[in-house]
Amino acid sequence: MSLPRTVTSGPELHSPEGAAKKLQTPPVRGTWRTSSEGTPSTHREDTRPGLGTLRWAFSRTSQRASGQALEEDLGLFQRSSRFLFRSLRRAQDNGSPARQPQATAVPGVTHGPEVPSRVMDGGRRQSSAGVGPEELEPEAGKSVADLITERQLLRAFEQLRQLEVRLVAEKASHTFEEDPTGFARRAMDVCLHYDGLAAEIGAIVRETLGPDGVDAAALGDLARVVRAEEAAHPVPPADGDFLLTPRRWRQHWEDAVRRSAQERVQQAGAGEARGAAEAEGASGLAQLLAELGGLVRSDLHKVRQEVQPAYSAAGLPAWEAYLRAFHGAVAQRLQELAQDARGCEQLYVLLDWAANVYGSPDFLGAPDLTLSTEPLPPLLAPALWARLQSDYTSFLETKITSCFDSILQLEQSRWADAEAPDVLQGLYHTPLSIDVHMLVAEHVKAAGAISAELEATTLCICTRALSLFLPRFEKAFLESKAVNEPHLGANINACEELRTHLLARFPGTFEELEKPLVAATCTFQKRLLRGLQCDVQPLFRVLCTKAWLTQDVLQPIMDKVVAFARHLEHVAPLRAQETLQEVHRYVVREYLAQVLRPRERFRGEERMTGSQKMGLDAQAIGDTFQGLGSEATWLDQAIPCVADILGETYKDDIRRHLETLIGSYPDIRRDHVLAILALRRLGHRRNQRLLQHAQYLLRSAAKAGGPAAAGGHVLFEEIEVPTSMDLLITCI
C-alpha cells in the first residue's frame, strides 16, 4: 500500500568521514508539517539548533497530529523522545571540561516538561523549522521510509539497524563531541523510523481482521521483524543509551491485537441493532449476543486458518494472543451489557449465553477449536457472576409469584363460566397440575443449565411459592360457586398429581410441600363428604321408627351413596378409596346413632322385628359397599352385634355379644353400653353384672392401646349418646 510522500530537506549531517547523508522521514501513516507557515525550511550549514529547538519542533508538529493511529503510537514516541534527551544529557555531563561550555551554550536546553509528537496517517513526516530528521537513505536502493511504506518491514528494520549500529559506533568514537545537536538529529531520525515501523505493525494488525485483510507475506514479515528486534535489543544497555534500548515490539503487537479484538467486539450490536436490543428487551439482547458470538466465531476461524499459519513460521503465538484478546474483549462487553440488564429475562439471557453458548465446547463450531477454560480467566468475574445470579433470583421470585397469580385467575375464570372439568384417562382433570408442573420444570431446567447452585435456589423459590399458593387456591375455590363433585374430584386429583410427581421428579426438595398438599386434599375430601351428608342426613331420621319396621327406608340412602360413588370412579384410586371408606364409616355410624337414640321404644315382638330389620340393613349396607369396592370390612360387625344383643332370646349370651362388640370396637364407651342395654330392658341385677363385665373389658382395651390397637379405627367415639330416663333406670 503506497502513500504520497512529502520530503522536506533538513540541514546536512556531517559525519567524521565528511560524507553528507540526506534524511528522509519514516512513512508511519502520518504527516509532519512545518511549525509555521512563514518559517523557512532550510538554514545555513553553520547554524546548529539546540535541544530546546528540537523540543519546540516536536511540540509544534504534535499539535497538528490527530487520529486513531496517532494515539496508538503516542506512547512509543514519548518514550523515544524522553530517552533520547536523557541520553543527550548523559553524553553532555560525561564530556570533558573543555567541551562543557560549548554544550551548555546550546540554545533551548531546558528542564521543562517534554511534549511528545504524534504520528498521523496520510503522508510523510516533515521537520519543523527545518531542523527535523534528515532523510535516511542507503547507499543504493530504496530508503527506509520507502520500505516501510511498501511494508517490507524486515528489510526496513535491517537497514535501520545498520544505521543505528553505525550511529552508536560514531558516538562511541566521540565523533559528535563538537556537534551534539547533529547527533540528536540523527538519533531522533532513527527513533522516528523505529516508531514508524511500530506504527506500521499496529496498522497491519488492525487491517488483519478487516474486510480486505492482509496477505500472508506481510504477516510473516511482521512476525520476523518482531523476532529480529528482540534479537537486536535483548536487554537494556548498561549505560542507558536510548538507541540500544529494547523496543518491546512483541508487547506492542499483543496490545495491537487486543485493541483490534476490542474494536471487532464493539462492532456487534452497533447502530440500529443496539437500539433494537434496548427496545426489544430480552429478545433484542439475545439477538445482540448471537451477533457477537457469530462475529467472534468468524474472526477466530480466520485467525486459525489464515493468520496463525503466517505467524507460526516465525514462531509468533498468534492463536494464543488472539484467543486471550477476544476473551478479554468479550468479557468487557458482557460487563457493559450486565450494567444495563433489566428484568429476569435479560439477566437469564446473559447468564445462559456466558455459561452455555460461549462456554460450550462447540462454540467455535469445529472439533479442533475450543475455548479452553484453563489458561483463560472466567468470562465474568466471580463477584459479577454472583451478583447477576442474585439479581436473577430476586426477579425470578417475583415472576414465579406472578405466574401462580395468573394460574389462579385462569382457574377462577373457568369456575365463573361453570365449565365442567374434563375427564382424561378416566379421571376428572383440571389444568392446575399441568400448569404448576410446567412452571416449576421450566424454571428449574433453565436454572440447572447455568449452575447447580442456581437450580437449587430456583427449587426453593418454587417450593415457597407453591406452599403459599395452595391455601389461596383452596380458599378461592371453596368461596366460588363451582363447589360440586366433579370440581372437587378434579382438585383432589390435581393435589395428588402434584404430591406424587413433584416428589418423584425432584426428590429431597419438595418434602415440605407434602403437608400443605395433604391438607388441601383432606379439605376437598371433607367438602365432598359434606355434600353427601347434607343429602342423606334427613333420610336417617326415619330409622328405628314404626314405619321403618314395615318399609325399606334404607334404599334411598344407599341409592344416593351409589350415585355419589360414581364420582369417586373419576378420582385418584388412593383418594377415592379413602373417601369411599369414609362414606362407609359415616353410613354405619349414623345408622348406629339412630339406633342408640331411638325416637320410639320397641318391646316384645316389635323389638324382635327391629333386631331382624337391623340384620337385614347391615347385610344391605355391607353388600352395597363391598360392591362399590370399600375395603373397610372392619365396619361389618358393628350393626349385627347390636342387633344380636337386641334380639338375643338367651340372655346369658348377651355377655358374649358385648365381648365381641367391645373387642371389635375398643373406642366404645360405657355410655354406649348403657344405651344398648337400655334398648333391651334387662333386670337390675343382670344389667349390673353386664356393666361390670363391660367396664372390665373397656379397661383391658384401654391398657392394650384403645383404638390404636385396632388399627386406629374410630366408630363409636363420634356417636353422642344423650342421657335419658331409660339410661338412668338401667344404671340404677
Q: pLDDT tens across 511-565, in order?
A: 788 889 999 999 999 999 999 999 999 999 888 888 888 889 899 999 999 999 9
Kindly report the CATH number assigned to the domain that includes residue 514: 1.10.357.50
pLDDT at 206: 92
Number of domains in the chain: 2
Q: How far is residue 438's CA from residue 404's CA, in Å, rounded to a whole number?
A: 12
Mean pLDDT of 164-168: 88
Query: Is 80's pLDDT higher than 80?
Result: no
CA distance to 220, 227, 309, 484, per residue, from 217 (Å): 5, 15, 11, 85
Evaluate whether 129 touches 32 at the Cβ level (below 8 Å): no
Q: What share of the chain is helix, strand, coil (3-state, %, to 5)?
A: 65, 0, 30
The mean-pLDDT minimum among 83-92, 201-210, 550-559, 720-729 falls in: 83-92
* 363 and 385 together in one domain: no
Domain boundary among 534, 569, 602: 534
Percent of the chain with pLDDT over 90: 37
pLDDT at 234: 86
* 313 and 183 together in one domain: yes
**Can you give the three-state secondary structure of 99-114, one letter per residue?**
CHHHHHCCCCCCCCCC
pLDDT at 137: 55
State the chain's mean pLDDT as an integer: 78
pLDDT at 493: 95
* 363 and 391 together in one domain: no
Does some domain include residue 576?
A: no
* 177 and 319 together in one domain: yes
Q: Which of 1-15, 278-292, 386-400, 598-612 has the highest mean pLDDT?
A: 386-400
Query: Is 304's pLDDT higher than 80?
Result: yes
405-415 confidence digits (pLDDT tens): 999 999 999 99
Cβ burial, residue 327 (10 Å; 0-12/13-18/19+):
buried
Q: How far is residue 731's CA from residue 214's CA, in Å, rounded to a whole number?
A: 116
Q: Band of the pLDDT at 239, cuts 50, 70, 90?
A: confident
* 358 and 256 together in one domain: yes
Q: Which three cell numbers, joined as nine digits, stand for 728?
A: 338412668
Query: Is 609's pLDDT higher than 50?
Result: yes
* 530 and 491 together in one domain: yes
104-126 confidence digits (pLDDT tens): 333 333 333 333 333 333 333 33
Query: Is 605's pLDDT higher than 80?
Result: yes
352-366 confidence digits (pLDDT tens): 999 888 888 888 876
Does some domain include residue 444?
A: yes
Q: How far is residue 570's CA from residue 209's CA, in Å, rounded to a whole number?
A: 68
* 330 and 433 together in one domain: no
Query: Is 369's pLDDT higher than 70?
Result: no
* 507 and 440 together in one domain: yes
The model's pTM: 0.68
Does some domain include residue 158?
A: yes
Does some domain include residue 117?
A: no
Q: Band of the pLDDT at 684, cuts 50, 70, 90?
A: confident
Strands in 430-584 per DSSP E: none
Does some domain include residue 204?
A: yes
pLDDT at 358: 87
User: What residue type is 289 in one-letter code?
Assistant: L
CA distance to 88, 216, 315, 414, per residue, from 437 (Å): 80, 58, 58, 19
Query: Is 305's pLDDT higher than 80?
Result: yes
Residue bearing cell 394460574: 407
Which of the 8 DSSP states describes residue 179? -
* 419 and 344 together in one domain: no
pLDDT at 102: 35
Does some domain include residue 578?
A: no
426-485 confidence digits (pLDDT tens): 999 999 999 999 999 999 999 999 999 999 999 999 999 999 999 999 999 999 988 999
Does some domain include residue 251?
A: yes
pLDDT at 694: 85
Domain boundary among 367, 393, 428: 367
* 394 and 347 together in one domain: no
Query: Is 204's pLDDT higher than 90?
Result: yes
* 311 and 353 together in one domain: yes
* 385 and 362 together in one domain: no
CA angle, residues 163, 165, 166, in degrees to nearest 5 = 60
Evaluate whether 250 touches 315 at the Cβ level (below 8 Å): no
Mean pLDDT of 128-156: 67
Domain boundary among 534, 556, 576: 534
Q: Band of the pLDDT at 372, cuts 50, 70, 90?
A: low
Domain of residue 482 covers 381-534
Mean pLDDT of 89-98: 43
Q: Which of 370-379, 410-419, 643-652, 685-694 has the highest mean pLDDT?
A: 410-419
Percent of the chain with pLDDT over 70: 75
Does some domain include residue 71?
A: no
